[in-house]
């Protein structure tokens, strides 16, 4: 085989917009028809990463670099909230901390080559915006 075959074939052709496509992976019809897509799997992965990063460090009771970095993130969100919200009670801190951690981990997972970027999906952004607007 010549080198022209490999250059001209579509085997090595990658579209840069493929990372934004929502592709159905599994079709379930147990109780109601639903699809498990790459968006669903990455969202579940992000939630597990947030859960294990926030709960795994508090059980040990020891100070390490992971605890210090999460403590700095905590104080960063607290200072941003204190400078922008004029309420005396920190009633919105939990939702802002979750949104910050979710967007942070989703963007970190999106930096992995050939992975799906959750924050580029319109439905995720629309859901978080409407949930925050109607709930609070």
Q: What is the pLDDT of residues 68-117, one digit of tens each?
A: 888 888 899 889 888 888 777 778 888 888 888 898 998 888 888 777 78
CA atoms within 13 A on the CB side of 46: 27
Check residue 5 and give its pLDDT.
46
CB 73 within 8 A of CB 62: no
Residue 107 makes CB contacts below 8 A (sequence gap 6+) with 117, 119
CA distance 83 to 36: 41
Tell me the domain boundaries of the chain: 38-135
Q: Which residue has the tokens 């981990």?
A: 105
Closest CA to 121 of 100, 107, 133, 135: 107
3-state secondary structure at position 35: strand
pTM (2 d.p.): 0.73
Q: Alpha-carbon distance 119 to 106, whole Å?
A: 7
């Amino acid at each position: 085989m010549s080198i022209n075959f490999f250059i001209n074939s579509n085997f090595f052709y990658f579209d840069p917009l493929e990372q934004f496509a929502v592709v159905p992976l599994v079709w379930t019809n147990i109780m109601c028809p639903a699809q498990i897509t790459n968006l669903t799997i990455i969202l579940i992965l992000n939630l597990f990463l947030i859960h294990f990063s926030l709960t795994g460090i508090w059980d040990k009771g020891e100070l390490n670099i992971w605890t210090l970095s999460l403590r700095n993130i905590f104080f960063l969100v607290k200072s941003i909230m204190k400078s922008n919200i004029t309420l005396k009670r920190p009633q919105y801190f939990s939702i802002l901390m979750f949104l910050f951690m979710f967007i942070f981990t989703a963007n970190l997972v999106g930096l992995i080559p050939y992975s799906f970027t959750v924050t580029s999906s319109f439905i995720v952004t629309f859901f978080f915006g409407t949930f925050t607007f109607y709930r609070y």
